[in-house]
Amino acid sequence: MGHPLVFAHRGSSYDLPEHTLAAYLRALDEGADGMECDVRLSRDGHLVCVHDGRLDRTSNGRGLVSARTLAELELLDFGSWHPNHTSTGGAGVLDESHTRLLTLDRLLETVRAAGRPVRLLIETKHPSRYGRDVERRLVALLDRHGLTVPRPEHPLQVTIMSFSLLAVRRLRELAPALPTVLLLEMLPRGFRLNRLPFGTRIAGPGLALVRARPDLIPALRAAGNQVYVWTVNDPADLELVLAAGVDGVITDRPAQTLTRVHG
């Protein structure tokens, strides 16, 4: 087996504010194999890259992301909350335009322009008021970018992830050719390692589950699945998942992780 893939979780989000263009551009510069991004819907149905349901932690806004239009979200500052917002880590002040709201559309354009193969893991976070709209809008956007049917020659490869079985099922129905990751915080009752639901071939267990079940990664892989583990920032945890034969590591610190994985 080659090196495990290194995915930048919310961009290079240890060093720079998560889900901003600044964090994703840094991850591209650092040579990450891929990047992870959470998406949810604005009030007027745009897919935006924000982890929390509320704006409070990562912007100067308050309240629900889903209660604001795209135009309203675009007025907010998504950078100043982060300790490194006044610096790029030595090269000057962060470009203010790079710490505004990031739409998935812009992230797709940015990654495509990178000029090298990059994988994008898109995780759907879905407010229940929108029902299946987040999956439908996601597939429609990917279709506009020509990304619903993976083509080996295309530099950008998209994989969709969710903790929700319902979301995974909808995505498999809407875009059967797109690879999916079933994210796992724990193993559901009746979970079969040798048969992930709805034809999914990649499992995404969290570190807590991997620590509790040291046999999990080898067992999933022996059953023909790939395994991507989140969120691996600590060197000891990285050693644990590498020793277990992990296929992909999702980390806030891609540069540090790449050094170890390729070293």
- 183 makes contact with ligand G3P (CB under 6 A): yes
Scan residues 49-78 and list those touching ligand G3P (CB under 6 A): 51
Active site includes 51? yes
- 38 makes contact with ligand G3P (CB under 6 A): yes
Contact pick of 123, 135, 247, 252 for ligand G3P (by CB under 6 A): 123
Q: How many residues in the shown chain lie near Ca ion by CB under 5 A?
A: 2
- 123 makes contact with Ca ion (CB under 5 A): yes
Contact pick of 230, 238, 252, 254 for ligand G3P (by CB under 6 A): 230
Active site includes 9? yes
Catalytic option among 19, 51, 85, 126: 51
Q: Which is nearer to ligand G3P, 147 or 229 (CB)?
A: 229
Query: For the chain, what is the HEC assignment?
Result: CCCCEEEEECCCCCCCCCCCHHHHHHHHHHCCCEEEEEEEECCCCCEEECCCCECCCCCCCCCEHHHCCHHHHCCCCCCCCCCCCCCCCCCCCCCHHHHCCCEHHHHHHHHHCCCCCEEEEEEECCCHHHCCHHHHHHHHHHHHCCCCCCCCCCCEEEEEEECCHHHHHHHHHHCCCCCEEEEECCCCCCCCCCCCHHHCCEEEEEHHHHHHCCCHHHHHHHCCCEEEEECCCCHHHHHHHHHCCCCEEEECCHHHHHHHHHC
24 binds, options ligand G3P, Ca ion, none, Cβ within 5 to 8 A by partner type: none
Catalytic residues: 9, 51
The residues that touch ligand G3P, with contacts defined as CB under 6 A, are: 9, 36, 38, 51, 123, 183, 204, 230-231, 250
